[in-house]
Amino acid sequence: MEARSPRPGRTAVLAAVGAHVPSIVVTNDDLAARLDTSDEWITSRTGIRTRHVAEPGRSTSDLAIAAGTAALRAAGPDASIDTVVLATSTPDRLVPATAPAVAAGLGLAGVAAFDVDAVCSGFVYGLAVANGLIAAGTARQVLLIGADTFSAIVDPADRTTAPLFGDGAGAVVLRAGEAGEPGALLAVELGSDGALADLITVRDGWFAMQGQAVYRQAVTRMAGAARDVLARTGWQPEDVDAFVSHQANLRILRAVGADLGIDAERVHANVTDVGNTVAASIPLALAHAHAAGRLRAGDRVLLSAFGGGTTWGAATLVWPELS
């Protein structure tokens, strides 16, 4: 999918980022105290040391509102959001969608609001949707939030999945702008293969996955989507200053980087601190890297994701000057 728009003022441009992680922190030692596992096993296989878990009574919409509030604050008083897109696979309820409640919670009742579900690829799918709405002239300012509370669907007694996930939310404001300006979405690539739906699923109420097959697919698909989007953008892997991919686990991030020829210093990772936060993963990583001063204006940024469905996607942009 080519994200470039020939029409003036009709490209999605990144204008602000925001993030929220809940206050409860679960360490590997906390998990080892109640499961047959160890800090050594989890760290060596996944790179994850801590993850955050939603406080009792808080759900995906609460986390999304907190991240949305942070992004709106960063966007400044002139922000005028007309659309809220929530990427999530753990909505508060099956019906209705969670985005309208998030919009109302942000004081934005009346704007268009809907959910996008592409599991761990949800944020990249959301970017494409927001860009399409802006290109069509339907939207001028989109608040795109990725938020998930996998603690609600991960069996706390399952040592094969419990260490992997954390709860969180990340948000971006995308405004209508010009294709050539910093922050403009340059290209987006999306894909899916429903024949592999059973690799990542929910069975009997609990999350289930085929770990090794997911690992192989994640590396192959994220690297493939990244190559395609780089080709569309006209960049080589050596042109990329920051590779911010879905934070599934550290080994996957490094393997994709190595496959693409992007060295470890340019591969951004916050999975160590927050685990796999599903649709929140990329915007959280962007917000954390921005807050830490690790993303600078002018950096050429490559995003990629793989998730349940199976789904995958990648996108490119030049990092803008952000507050």
The answer to whether 276 contacts ligand ACO (rule: CB under 6 A) is: yes
Say if CB 316 and CB 235 are below 8 A apart.
yes
Query: d(Cα 278, Cα 172) in Å, to the nearest integer?
Result: 16
Cβ-closest position to ligand ACO: 211
Residue among 83 and 245 whose Cβ is closer to ligand ACO: 245
Q: Does 149 bind ligand ACO (CB under 6 A)?
A: no
Contact by Cβ (8 Å): 133, 139: yes
Q: Where are the beta strands (DSSP E) in the chain?
A: 11-20, 24-27, 50-53, 83-87, 112-116, 141-148, 168-177, 185-192, 200-203, 206-209, 242-245, 300-307, 311-318
By CB under 6 A, name the one of 26, 200, 240, 279 that touches ligand ACO.
200
Residues near ligand ACO (CB under 6 A), total: 22
Active site residue 268: no
Cα–Cα separations (whole angstroms), residue 217 to 32, 44, 236, 312 = 29, 20, 23, 10
Let me know if 120 is a catalytic residue: yes
46 binds ligand ACO (CB under 6 A): yes
- Calpha distance 244→219 (Å, rounded): 14
Find the catalytic residue in 52, 120, 131, 270.
Answer: 120
The residue (of 111 and 218) whose beta carbon lies closer to ligand ACO is 218
Q: Near ligand ACO by CB under 6 A, which window of 34-42, 49-57, 110-118, 169-177?
A: 34-42
Of 10, 159, 227, 294, which lies in the binding site for ligand ACO, with binding defined by CB under 6 A? 159
Active site residue 246: yes
- Contact segment (CB under 6 A) with ligand ACO among 96-104, 138-146, 160-168, 169-177 equals 160-168
Query: Is 272 within 8 Å of 164 (Cβ atoms)?
Result: no
The CA distance from 20 to 147, in Å, is 9
Among 4-12, 47-55, 155-163, 287-295, which window interacts with ligand ACO (CB under 6 A)? Answer: 155-163
Compute the distance between CA of residue 202 and CA of residue 85 in angstroms, rounded to an integer: 23
Q: Are 207 and 58 in contact (CB under 8 A)?
A: no
Nearest approach, Cβ of residue 276 and ligand ACO (Å): 5
Nearer to ligand ACO, 215 or 235 (CB): 215
Instruction: Quote the least distance from Cβ 133 to ligand ACO, whole Å.
Output: 26
Residue that is written with structure tokens 């770990």 in the block: 211
- CA torsion through residues 88, 230, 232, 285, sign: positive
* Residue 306 engages ligand ACO in binding (rule: CB under 6 A): yes
Residues that bind ligand ACO (CB under 6 A): 37, 41-42, 45-46, 120, 159-160, 163-164, 200, 209, 211-212, 214-215, 218, 248-249, 276, 306-307
